[in-house]
Amino acid sequence: MRKPMRRLVISLVIVAAVVVAVQIAVQSVKEQNRAAEIARLKESTSIAAYEKLIADQTGSKPPGPVPNVDPQDAAQPAAFPQDAAESIAAYKRLYDEMLEKWGGDYLPQEAYDILKKSQDSWTDEEWATMVQIVNERRDLLDQLRALAGHGGPAYPLDFSKGIAMEMPHLAELRNGARLFRASAIVRAAEGNYSESVEDIVAGMQLIDALAQEPVLISQLVRFAMYGIMNDAVQQSFHGGDLSPEQVSQLLTQLDGADDREVLAQSMTGEQVMGLQTFSGIRTPDDLREIWGEDPYFNETTTLGQIAKRPLLLEFYSSPLGRPWLNMDADAYSEILSRAAAVAELPYYEARPELERIENDIDNLPWARGITRTLVPRLPRTCIAQARHEATIDLMQMGLLLEQYQGQHGSYPQSLDAIAPGLGGELPVEPYTGEPYHYEASDDSFLLYSVGDNLTDDGGKHDYRTGDIVWRSVPER
């Protein structure tokens, strides 16, 4: 009996060893394929440009091929000019100067509090405060205009850090847009429409530096910054305040601001950062290096949420957990690939697939814990893109309607009258694919999008649930 038992045990050990060897070989191949996938994703023009920038700054070799793209090609916004490093240094110098002179912010808190209110409700004291603040910052505005006119990049994004990438410049740029908004409102109130237009154009140019960044948070901040400049336009100009040349200047700057390809690129960037993070989880040493003791990794951040699951992370970093980690990474990559493809569609076409993606995310098994934490709520991101597109469309049409009234003394009865100013074709709602809603009388008009709830509320504006209205009115 002993010999058969011994043979059985030996056979089982051999079988187990073979199974383990095959599993190790399979996982090794999968990890090689994933490394190749990351390398392929990094060949994207946007990401490759930042990879080369980091390599140039550190003196290291770029991790992959860098496309040979003409920096002047508007379709490839992240192929940086030769002085990209100097552009980043200039942004840093300006911030350091602000830190020394103004405490590190473009505006004091009292200015932000005033800007939260409609210009029509500002008191004389608030007006005097804003004028003083803007005038004190004339030199700062001049320097910021020069930087905005140059474009970007504004910060060296390091994709090798995965989702631990630092992005301190986003708050700085957003506050720069608020400074331009404050200056535009003050100059327009003084009748200096030329400088007011320059402020708004510069604010939009500052925002466009973020269009080069293939990261979702950068694009969400970009949308918010365009909202700031939209407020500046609505509060600064009425009727025939602007010349046709000034209106054309604003419309030209707005052309291409709603490019969905930028959002698709950011999905690819998120995919790279997430896969880099999965790669870092594979060994305990890398794991400790990623999490460290940095306060950034607290429970309110994505990394902090992942770090709260130490047993899962230790399991994933073990040979036994490696297959589960790879399946988790595969799920993450597949979802982001689908999201990148659908992000290039108008929202009304993308909605069915976005709903399927969200449903798939909600139904991920418990063993896909890192994916559930890393994957953003993609439909909400695409809704933010749709809101951004609607804001840009309404701004362009609103400016042309105001110009029409200044020239003809009344508003047109149909939007067709302003179609020539938009290249001969009127935009359609990104939410529905239908025309924007427009009603006109001789001395006023109502122009709006149905907004996030996809329901025509008759022009009743509410940021979250109501319509998106040009010169919004809270209640009707």
**pLDDT for res 203:** 95
C-alpha 373/C-alpha 283 separation (Å) is 20
Q: Which of 187, 97, 207, 100 is nearest to 143 (CA)?
A: 97
**pLDDT for res 75:** 37
Neighbouring C-beta atoms of residue 156, cutoff 10 Å: 16
C-alpha 288/C-alpha 294 separation (Å) is 11
**Contact at 8 Å (CB) between 278 and 325?**
yes
**pLDDT for res 202:** 95
SS3 label, residue 434: coil
SS3 content of the chain, % helix, strand, coil (to 5): 65, 5, 30
Which run of H or of E encompasses 469?
strand 468-469
C-alpha 237/C-alpha 189 separation (Å) is 9
Phi, psi of 432 (to 5 degrees): -125, -20
- Sequence spans of domains, the chain: 2-58
Q: Which of 175, 174, 195 is nearest to 184 (CA)?
A: 195
pTM of this prediction exceeds 0.75: yes
**pLDDT for res 378:** 77
C-alpha 278/C-alpha 342 separation (Å) is 24
SS3 label, residue 439: strand
Q: Which two tokens stand for residue 188?
A: 């327009």
What string of pLDDT tens digits covers the 476 residues of the chain?
Answer: 566 666 665 666 565 555 555 555 555 555 555 555 555 555 566 788 888 888 877 766 555 444 443 444 433 344 677 778 888 888 888 888 888 888 778 888 999 999 988 888 899 999 999 999 999 999 999 999 998 988 778 899 888 877 778 888 999 999 999 999 999 999 999 999 999 999 999 999 999 889 889 999 999 999 999 999 999 999 888 877 899 999 999 999 999 888 898 999 898 888 888 888 887 777 656 555 555 545 444 555 565 566 666 667 777 777 778 888 888 888 999 999 999 999 999 999 999 999 999 999 989 888 788 888 888 677 789 999 999 999 999 999 999 998 998 888 889 999 999 999 999 999 999 999 999 999 998 788 999 999 988 888 888 877 667 899 997 543 33
Residue located via tokens 């504004």: 154
**pLDDT for res 295:** 41
Q: Which two tokens stand for residue 81?
A: 């000019």
Helix axes 378-408, 244-254, angle to 10 degrees: 170
**Contact at 8 Å (CB) between 291 and 307?**
yes
